[in-house]
Amino acid sequence: MTKSSTPTTAAVAARIQSATARQGSGGVAKGSFAARAQSAAAKNSAGKGK
């Protein structure tokens, strides 16, 4: 994976997850792009407190 110059925020991850849920049956599969984006956003926000 490459390092992104713009970190994924919670708002961006929420939009991705919402769009994914709308396309499918209302859920987001474990390991999907939306799930990975949510994980990245959580890690990015946790690192800001340092």
pLDDT digits (tens, 9 = 90+) for 14-31: 999 999 999 988 899 999
- 17 or 46: whose pLDDT is higher? 17
Q: Is the pLDDT of residue 50 over 60?
A: no
pLDDT class for 3, splitting at 50, 70, 90?
low
Q: pTM for the complete prediction?
A: 0.75
DSSP letter for 1, please. Answer: -
pLDDT at 5: 77
* Plot region of 31 (φ>0 → left; ψ -120 to 50 → alpha; else → beta): left
**Cα within 13 Å of Cα(37), Cβ side:** 19
- 32 or 2: whose pLDDT is higher? 32
